[in-house]
């Protein structure tokens, strides 16, 4: 594996080029000063928007400030992520964050003002100034919130409670990131060492069952010890969601969470119902796992153990890029040219170096191009990560090129579609090319486990959120026992009868940060299902689907997420895409079982 001791050792063509945003820090400072000067101008509009001309002037200035601020923030964040130890980069990002808060404060008056207007007045304003047509759809979309916006004094009161209402989430973050101390595990020399999250991720996949068990017990230990405190924070977070939904006149906390994306609750319910009706293939996979591991009792810490061992492929970055281009060829020549540009024009930061932010992400910078952070390790997982992030990257690039700034950013609801389409195309390409039986089994297992984590686990989490919020809405007290019983029952429903439960299983709810961002995780599953449908059609040579998919990648947020997906042939208001996805999973499990 290629390793570097410092960033300076990495070849220039494997480092992103931040000069495309700002050629130097002086230019960054110039934009910082301009935004500071604009804040006072933005504040002047408070109480002064009386006609179309002043409305247009405000919106135009706000968008100009937003454009510059995004550049400032992106440059600062990317610079810091190159080496998180550099204090000057930390300070740069802190300044960008503080400036963002000031801008938000200066423009906070606008939404209450807008919603105080009636539609006739707003239409008159728009008729006065031609430039307001650009903002028209966005302005009227805000009117959807009118039934859920309170009187000005009440809104001001609620805004003052913002910090208090976010306390459960902040408290859990502090517990989870600062206070949690995992137990100890035994290293290869027999010494006891503290468990970390990174080490746990490796050990839970170890072939040695004793190591997996030891890591599992050590990982869950602090969550079980803090069960009452964490139950209190989660209960408070759920009650806050329920209370805010009532205050704002939503039928339920679920419908409040779905409102921004204009998603009917039937989509959420369909996802859960269709999954549970077609859960048998997951139960079969768990049975195969138990049989293949030759265990009398399968436990939760056995669910990530490798079923196909001894497959270690060395995949250098250059080879990975060539493989990606071949695998994604069904998406067309224009798509491949964009991918070549990513590499040749230094959009990607490839190598792992000391101090660099871990993991991987894509950041689209409107008016510039996407930036992709990797920590490439010359292995199969790194190849999948490259393909995944490049899916996000092409989505960002095309949406930015084909959409104006106001609709260029795509919703989280559709974000995982582009990345997962790429992963499905890659796995199918590798399976088609691979003749070695052991590697084929390994690839199938990789895909099945991706399915398990991105789809089934997220649907289970989504049902847990729905059930606990419904209890709170009915006035049922939420505590450790309620959370344990709900989670344990769902885990049994989803993963079937072949798992023997350790005491820790029922505490799974205590470690999930997503539960403090209500009704969010279902989007992973709907995105995954949409991607499976699209990739399958594209591989079948369906030109209509391919063309509509490329158009989708250019669409940003020009329509609501469900409508954008419908144009590609994916209708999530029906259970069909979910059912087809589960059929695909069933086929994978059947094929995998036949190879063992």
First to last CA, the chain: 30
CA distance 468 to 464: 6
How far apart CA 56 and CA 130 sit, in angstroms, is 9
User: What Rg do the C-alpha atoms of the chain give, in angstroms?
Assistant: 25
Among 413, 445, 86, residue whose Cα is nearest residue 257:
413
> Are the C-beta atoms of residues 371 and 347 closer than 8 Å to each other?
yes
Task: Please enumerate, as own/partner, the contacts of 337-342 that have beta carbons within 8 Å and a separation of 24 or more.
Answer: 338/394, 338/397, 338/398, 339/390, 339/394, 342/370, 342/372, 342/390, 342/393
Q: In terms of DSSP H, where are the helices of 260-402?
A: 265-277, 280-292, 317-327, 333-344, 380-402
Pairing relationship of beta strands 348-351 and 361-364 according to DSSP bridges: unpaired
Dist. CA 65–CA 50, nearest whole Å: 22
Q: Which residues pair with 348 in a beta bridge?
A: 372
Distances in Å between the Cα of 545 and the Cα atoms of 61, 432, 534 are: 40, 22, 7
Residues sharing a CB contact under 8 Å with residue 64, sequence separation 6 or more, in sequence order: 38
Of the CA atoms within 13 Å of residue 164, those in its CB half-sphere come to 7
Strand partners, 298: 499
63 is catalytic: no
Give CA–CA dist 275/279, Å, rounded.
6
Residue 85 near residue 38 (C-beta atoms within 8 A)? no
Tokens of 122: 């707003």
Rounded distance between C-alpha atoms, residue 384 and residue 576, angstroms: 27
Can you list the alpha helix ranges (DSSP code H) found in 108-165? 110-116, 119-128, 133-142, 152-160, 162-165
**Number of Cα atoms under 13 Å in the Cβ half of residue 244:** 22
- Catalytic: which of 82, 284, 389, 416? 389
* Separation CA 495–CA 453 (nearest Å): 12
φ and ψ at 373, to 5 degrees?
A: -100, 130
The CA distances from residue 304 to 73, 227, 522, in Å, are: 38, 25, 22
CA distances from 276 to 255, 432, 495, 575 (A): 22, 31, 11, 12
Structure tokens at 548: 């509509």
Q: Which residues are catalytic?
A: 389
């Amino acid at each position: 594996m290629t390793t570097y001791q410092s960033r300076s050792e990495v070849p220039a063509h494997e480092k992103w080029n931040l000069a495309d945003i700002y050629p130097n820090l002086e230019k960054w400072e110039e934009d910082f000063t301009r935004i500071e000067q604009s804040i006072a101008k933005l504040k002047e509009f408070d109480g002064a928007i009386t006609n179309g001309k002043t409305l247009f002037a405000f919106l135009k200035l706000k968008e100009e400030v937003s454009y510059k601020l995004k550049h400032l923030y992106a440059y600062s964040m990317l610079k810091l992520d190159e080496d998180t130890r550099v204090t000057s980069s930390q300070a740069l990002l802190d300044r960008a964050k503080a400036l963002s808060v000031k801008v938000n404060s200066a423009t906070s008056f606008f939404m209450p003002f807008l919603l105080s207007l009636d539609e006739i007045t707003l239409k008159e304003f728009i008729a006065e100034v031609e430039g307001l047509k650009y903002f028209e759809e966005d302005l009227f979309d805000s009117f959807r919130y009118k039934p859920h916006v309170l009187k000005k004094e009440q809104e001001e009161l609620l805004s003052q409670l913002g910090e208090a209402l976010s306390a459960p989430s902040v408290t859990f973050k502090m517990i989870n990131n600062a206070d949690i101390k995992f137990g100890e595990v035994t290293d290869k020399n027999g010494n006891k060492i503290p468990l970390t999250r990174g080490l746990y991720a490796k050990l839970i996949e170890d072939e040695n069952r004793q190591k997996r068990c030891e890591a599992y017990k050590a990982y869950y230990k602090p969550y079980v010890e803090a069960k009452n405190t964490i139950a209190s924070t989660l209960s408070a977070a759920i009650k806050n969601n329920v209370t805010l939904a009532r205050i704002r006149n939503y039928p339920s906390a679920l419908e409040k969470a779905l409102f921004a994306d204009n998603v009917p609750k039937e989509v959420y319910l369909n996802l859960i119902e269709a999954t549970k009706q077609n859960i048998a293939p997951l139960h079969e996979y768990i049975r195969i796992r138990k049989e293949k591991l030759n265990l009398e009792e399968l436990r939760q810490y056995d669910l990530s153990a490798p079923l196909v061992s001894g497959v270690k492929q060395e995949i250098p970055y250059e080879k990975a890029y060539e493989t990606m281009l071949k695998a994604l060829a069904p998406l067309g020549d224009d798509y491949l040219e964009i991918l070549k540009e990513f590499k040749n024009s230094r959009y990607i930061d490839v190598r792992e170096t000391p101090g660099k932010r871990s993991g991987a992400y894509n950041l689209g910078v409107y008016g510039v191009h996407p930036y992709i952070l990797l920590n490439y390790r010359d292995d199969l997982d790194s190849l999948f990560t490259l393909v995944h992030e490049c899916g996000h990257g092409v989505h960002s690039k095309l949406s930015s090129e084909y959409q104006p700034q106001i609709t260029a950013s795509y919703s989280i609801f559709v974000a995982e579609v582009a990345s997962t389409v790429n992963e499905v195309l890659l796995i199918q390409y590798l399976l088609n090319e691979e003749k070695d039986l052991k590697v084929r089994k390994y690839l199938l297992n990789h895909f099945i486990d991706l399915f398990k984590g991105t789809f089934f686990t997220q649907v289970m989490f989504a049902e847990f959120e729905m059930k606990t919020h419904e209890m709170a809405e009915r006035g049922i007290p939420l505590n450790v026992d309620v959370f344990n019983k709900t989670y344990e029952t769902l885990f049994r429903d989803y993963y079937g009868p072949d798992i023997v439960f350790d005491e820790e299983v029922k505490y799974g709810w205590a470690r999930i940060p997503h539960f403090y961002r209500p009704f969010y995780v279902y989007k992973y599953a709907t995105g995954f299902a949409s991607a499976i449908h699209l990739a399958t059609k594209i591989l079948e040579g369906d030109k209509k689907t391919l063309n509509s998919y490329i158009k989708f990648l250019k669409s940003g947020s020009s329509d609501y997420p469900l409508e954008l997906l419908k144009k590609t042939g994916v209708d999530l208001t029906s259970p069909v895409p979910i059912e087809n996805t589960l059929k695909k999973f069933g086929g994978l499990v059947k094929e995998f079982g036949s190879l063992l």
